[in-house]
């Protein structure tokens, strides 16, 4: 994998680059739709590539391990062939999902023992096993196995957790280097910076991660309940340490405003379930603000869903029609809203890239933050 940094904004830390994988190039900044169990909910792979223009999507190691299972994915030739998405795929390590299973997991130095949320069966994730699972899934970009501590963790727990994450990272790297890709193309491993909202722990983690000289690096454990300004402070601290010539991935973030603020602080890659999850609940994001399509005000509004939108659904359907579909609980409502929101998120990061290159990102971002946060 190669990363070419093409432009850096003169007034902020915003960057534009190109990340090249064996499944194709990725222009950054980029938003990555989340396909937890091998599919982006309610969206066809053709729509992802041709209409939404997704350059890369995510799969989740925990969920794919449980269902359909590594044996099936191996027989299929990996996730790319299984789900018919021929672009780059990133897998998270499953750490966040495993550690959110409060009450049905046991954490120790070896790894994390847990029970499946599906059938209660017992499993264990170790750093070595997670590397083997991600190899079998066939992701272009694999995440290291880490502990994602609660956002409310006290300092003592956060420090202990960080030590475990760093020891696990060394084991992940060792296993990664001992094994080969299974499907004939290269895979990259990204370490994850943790440390909750404690400045010294974030610095320590960023320095440790940077020393590994990986193909790219991730920032985890944010957007878990801390104030937005604290999250932005942590991003600035970490990005001041992580290598400038490697891509930076902010995990699980977030709202359109969060993404713009992250880009301003030097983040290159984002993912979040918000576009599809909120879309399935009738919330649409647009460059002029947020709409709740269940509100009665849209009942007889026959104007296009989003006159400024980039997806075919934005011109093909009216606000009144989508309002009707949600009220009638039609499945098509979930599909239209998800496609619109994903297309908007991809548009937003493409526009940010364009303004970084043209040199007016700071002024564009300042006006856009106000617009996208408005309630329509």
Question: What are the residues facing 105 on neighbouring strands?
Answer: 114
Cβ-based neighbours of 276, under 8 Å, separated by 6 or more = 33, 34, 40, 41, 42, 43, 338, 341, 342
**Domain end residue (candidates: 236, 271, 306):** 271
Domain of 46, in residue numbers: 2-271
Q: What is the CATH number of the domain that holds 201?
A: 3.20.20.105
State phi, psi for 38 to the nearest 5 degrees.
Answer: 105, 0
Same domain, 280 and 267: no
Please give the angle made by the CA atoms of 346, 347 and 350, to the nearest 5 degrees.
Answer: 90
Q: Say if residue 24 carries a ligand binding annotation.
A: no
Look up tokens 């579909």; give the residue. Answer: 325
Report the pLDDT averaged over residues 221-233. Answer: 93
Q: Say if residue 95 carries a ligand binding annotation.
A: yes
Same domain, 340 and 369: yes
Q: Say if residue 35 carries a ligand binding annotation.
A: no
Structure tokens that stand for 128 in this block:
């070595």
Q: Say if residue 194 carries a ligand binding annotation.
A: yes
In angstroms, the CA 295 to CA 143 distance is: 40
Same domain, 318 and 369: yes
What is the residue-averaged pLDDT of the chain? 96
Nearest alpha carbon to residue 134 among 96, 183, 168: 183
Same domain, 267 and 277: no
Q: Say if residue 146 carries a ligand binding annotation.
A: yes
Structure tokens that stand for 368 in this block:
């856009």
In angstroms, the CA 209 to CA 228 distance is: 24
- 119 tagged catalytic: no
Same domain, 261 and 302: no
Catalytic choice (9, 92, 215, 306): 92
Q: What's the confidence (pLDDT) of residue 330? A: 98
Q: What's the confidence (pLDDT) of residue 225? A: 85
Same domain, 232 and 141: yes
Cα atoms in the Cβ-side hemisphere of radius 13 Å centred on 77: 9
How many distinct helices (H) and strands (E) make up the chain? 15, 17
Q: What's the confidence (pLDDT) of residue 102? A: 65
**Domain end residue (candidates: 248, 271, 294):** 271
Same domain, 192 and 312: no
Structure tokens that stand for 253 in this block:
């973030």
| pLDDT tens figures, 118-162 | 999 999 999 999 999 999 999 999 999 999 888 889 999 999 999
Same domain, 244 and 284: no
- In whole angstroms, how far apart are CA 292 and each of 39, 89, 223, 287, 342? 25, 31, 23, 14, 16
| pLDDT tens figures, 68-117 | 999 999 999 999 999 999 999 999 988 777 777 767 778 899 999 988 98
Q: What's the confidence (pLDDT) of residue 107? A: 86
Q: Say if residue 252 carries a ligand binding annotation.
A: no
Whole-prediction pTM: 0.96
Q: Say if residue 119 carries a ligand binding annotation.
A: no
In angstroms, the CA 334 to CA 337 distance is: 5
DSSP code for 328: T
DSSP 40-81: -TT--HHIIIIIS--S-EEEEHHHHHHTT-HHHHHHHTSHHH
In total, how many domains does the chain have?
2
- 271 tagged catalytic: yes
For the chain, give the number of residues: 376
Q: What's the confidence (pLDDT) of residue 224? A: 87
Q: What's the confidence (pLDDT) of residue 93? A: 86
**Domain end residue (candidates: 235, 254, 271):** 271
DSSP code for 375: B
Structure tokens that stand for 356 in this block:
């970084």
Cα-based torsion angle of the residue sequence 342, 63, 165, 254 in order, rounded to the nearest 10 degrees: 20
| pLDDT tens figures, 235-268 | 999 999 999 999 999 999 999 999 999 999 999 9
Same domain, 259 and 291: no
Same domain, 238 and 91: yes
Catalytic choice (51, 140, 268, 271): 271
Same domain, 280 and 253: no
Q: Say if residue 221 carries a ligand binding annotation.
A: yes
DSSP 72-138: HHHHHTSHHHHHT--S-EEEE-SHHHHHT-TTSEEE-SS-EEEE-TTT--EEEE-HHHHHHHHHHHT
Same domain, 63 and 211: yes
Q: What's the confidence (pLDDT) of residue 97? A: 78
Report the pLDDT averaged over residues 352-369. Answer: 98
């Amino acid at each position: 994998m190669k990363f070419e940094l093409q432009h850096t904004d003169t007034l902020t830390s915003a960057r534009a680059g190109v990340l090249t994988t064996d499944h194709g190039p990725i222009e950054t900044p980029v938003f990555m739709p989340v396909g937890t169990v091998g599919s982006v909910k309610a969206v066809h792979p053709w729509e992802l590539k041709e209409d939404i223009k997704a350059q890369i999507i995510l799969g989740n190691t925990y969920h794919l391990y449980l269902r359909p299972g590594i044996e099936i994915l191996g027989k299929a030739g990996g996730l790319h062939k299984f789900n018919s998405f021929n672009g780059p795929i990133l897998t998270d390590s499953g750490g966040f999902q495993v550690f959110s299973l409060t009450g049905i997991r046991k954490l120790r130095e070896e790894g994390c023992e847990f029970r499946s949320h599906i059938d209660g069966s017992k499993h264990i994730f170790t750093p070595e096993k997670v590397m083997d699972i991600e190899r079998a899934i066939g992701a272009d970009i694999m995440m290291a196995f880490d502990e994602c501590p609660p956002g409310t963790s006290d300092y003592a727990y956060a420090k202990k957790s960080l030590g475990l994450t760093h020891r696990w990272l060394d084991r992940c790297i060792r296993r990664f280097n001992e094994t080969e890709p299974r499907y004939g193309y290269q895979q990259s491993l990204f370490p994850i910076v943790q440390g909750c909202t404690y400045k010294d722990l974030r610095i320590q983690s960023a320095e440790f991660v940077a020393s590994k000289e990986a193909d790219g690096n991730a920032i985890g454990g944010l957007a878990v309940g801390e104030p937005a300004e604290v999250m932005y402070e942590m991003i600035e601290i970490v990005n001041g340490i992580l290598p400038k010539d490697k891509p930076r991935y902010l995990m699980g973030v977030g709202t359109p405003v969060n993404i713009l603020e992250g880009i301003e602080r030097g983040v290159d890659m984002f993912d979040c379930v918000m576009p599809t999850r909120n879309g399935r609940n009738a919330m649409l994001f647009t460059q002029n603000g947020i709409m709740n399509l269940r509100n009665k005000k849209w009942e007889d509004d026959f104007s296009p869903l989003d006159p400024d939108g980039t997806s075919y659904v934005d011109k093909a359907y009216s606000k009144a029609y989508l309002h009707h579909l949600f009220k009638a609980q039609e499945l098509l409502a979930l599909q239209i809203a998800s496609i619109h929101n994903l297309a908007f998120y991809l548009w937003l990061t493409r526009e940010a890239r364009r303004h970084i290159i043209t040199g007016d990102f700071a002024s564009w971002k300042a006006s856009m933050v106000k617009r996208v946060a408005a309630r329509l």
